[in-house]
């Protein structure tokens, strides 16, 4: 897989960013991306919100927006895959160009704007999946022109809850006007009240997670933590892309509007994980996402409080072989520090 994956990754980088994304999906659909051959180290297995993960390394939402290649992504060695974001009605997203590489910074800026095939199309694909193949969750968004965000999340939960292993309510995309305002305490409480009702009414009740942004001050983070605990949210995805531009970015595309992901996001994402772990006293499992590009990054997230980690942008620059490398490096760090299981290392830096 590594030789072919390296060639494919180099070829994809010659294409415009969004064209390359489409080509990557085509490669995954074709089966040419290959399969992981190594068995996961026993130390990497972990149980989080009632699900047994073969390893804690997941594919973040954004690559498989429309639930087209989740099985192929699992075959790369991911412990789980998050598809989406999915909106109730199909929508094209923002005008192109809307996806930009920052190659010098190992980063991406996107302002895709929840381009989605919609719930009906995604439901057909998820309904047909073999659940024995691996753990798949769905990221739920709202339509750009929707006046009732909670109704959009309710529609997503009722449609897809029976066919996925976990649900993610995304209130943190920077590319849908007004969405991040839902993270404010009163607004979030009102949304989650309706989300709770939707989950109770659904024909299945998979774990419910909340995806939050890294661009919040400490008071806002405490508010989110309090509301999440009050509504018994099963997990927090920390976090999303950032609207900030860390100093030292070299690429001219740093000036493009949109959310920044990749290596420059990692320090901000790591601090978000640490802050939410402190705010919740470790009572809510955390998925650490943002800028992870190595086993050392994944291990820092786990020691900072993440039970699971997710990546996406690093695949653009390092290819599918990165998944296996991160798992090998993570297992080595656990063994070095005397942790028999990854769960033993969660939040270790706080102890």
Q: Would you say residue 307 lies in a domain?
A: yes
pLDDT at 3 over 60: no
| 82 strand-pairing partners | 137
Cα separation, 44 vs 55, in Å, equals 5
pLDDT confidence of residue 5: 62
108 within a domain of the structure (yes/no): yes
Range 203-226 average pLDDT: 96
CATH of the domain at 126: 3.20.20.70
Catalytic residue among 173, 261, 294, 307: 173
Confirm whether 258 is domain-assigned.
yes
Q: Domain range spanning residue 241? A: 38-350
8 Å CB contact between 304 and 274: yes
pLDDT range class, residue 187, cuts 50, 70, 90: very high
User: Closest Cα partner for 208 from 244, 168, 237, 155?
Assistant: 168
Structure tokens at 282: 């470790």
Is residue 204 in some structural domain?
yes
Q: Name which of 181, 177, 171 is nearest 212 in CA terms.
A: 171
Mean pLDDT of 147-168: 98
For the chain, give the percent of residues with pLDDT over 90.
93
CB 99 within 8 A of CB 65: no
With respect to residue 15, please indicate whether it lies within any of the assigned structural domains.
no
251 among known catalytic residues: no
Q: How confident is the model at residue 317 (pLDDT cuts 50, 70, 90)?
A: very high
More reliable by pLDDT, 211 or 33:
211
50-64 mean pLDDT: 98
Residue 82 maps to a domain: yes
Q: What is the pLDDT of residue 36?
A: 87
Q: Would 63 be classed as within a structural domain?
A: yes
Judge whether 9 lies within some domain. no
pLDDT of res. 75: 97
CA angle 48, 192, 313 (to 5 degrees): 55
Domain count, the chain: 1
Q: Residue 4: is its pLDDT beyond 60?
A: no
Confidence band for 341, pLDDT divided at 50, 70 and 90: very high
Cis-peptide, bond into residue 182, ω within 30° of zero: no
CA of 211: how far to CAs of 46, 61, 71, 140, 279, in Å?
A: 21, 11, 23, 10, 16
Instruction: Tokens for 67, please give them.
Output: 């639930």
Average pLDDT, the chain: 96
Structure confidence by residue, pLDDT tens digits, 263-301: 999 999 999 999 999 999 999 999 999 999 999 999 999
């Amino acid at each position: 897989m590594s030789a072919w994956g390296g060639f494919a990754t180099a070829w994809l980088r010659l294409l415009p960013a969004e064209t390359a994304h489409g080509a990557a999906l085509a490669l995954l659909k074709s089966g040419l991306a290959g399969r992981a051959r190594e068995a996961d180290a026993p130390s990497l297995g972990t149980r989080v919100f009632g699900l047994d993960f073969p390893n804690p390394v997941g594919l973040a939402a954004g690559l498989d927006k429309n639930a087209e290649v989740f099985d192929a992504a699992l075959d790369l060695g991911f412990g789980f895959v998050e598809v989406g974001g999915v909106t109730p009605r199909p929508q094209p997203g923002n005008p192109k160009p809307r996806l930009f590489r920052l190659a010098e910074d190992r980063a991406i800026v996107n302002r895709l704007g929840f381009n989605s095939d919609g719930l009906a199309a995604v439901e057909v694909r998820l309904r047909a999946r073999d659940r024995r193949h691996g753990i798949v969750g769905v990221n739920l968004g709202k339509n750009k022109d929707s006046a009732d965000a909670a109704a959009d999340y309710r529609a997503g939960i009722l449609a897809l809850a029976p066919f996925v292993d976990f649900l993610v309510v995304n209130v943190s995309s920077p590319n849908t006007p007004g969405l991040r305002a839902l993270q404010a305490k009163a607004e979030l409480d009102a949304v989650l009240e309706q989300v709770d009702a939707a989950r109770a009414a659904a024909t299945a009740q998979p774990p419910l997670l909340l995806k939050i942004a890294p661009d919040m001050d400490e008071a806002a983070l405490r508010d989110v933590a309090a509301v999440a605990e009050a509504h018994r949210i099963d997990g927090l995805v920390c976090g999303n892309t950032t609207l900030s531009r860390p100093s030292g970015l070299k690429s001219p595309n740093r000036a493009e509007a949109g959310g920044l992901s990749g290596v420059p996001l990692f320090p901000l994402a790591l601090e978000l994980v640490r802050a939410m772990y402190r705010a919740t006293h470790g009572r809510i499992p955390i998925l650490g996402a943002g800028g992870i590009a190595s086993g050392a990054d994944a291990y820092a997230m786990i020691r900072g409080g993440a039970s699971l980690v997710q990546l996406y942008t690093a695949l653009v620059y390092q290819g599918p072989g990165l998944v296996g490398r991160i798992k090998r490096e993570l297992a080595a760090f656990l063994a070095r520090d005397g942790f028999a299981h990854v769960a033993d290392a969660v939040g270790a830096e706080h102890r």
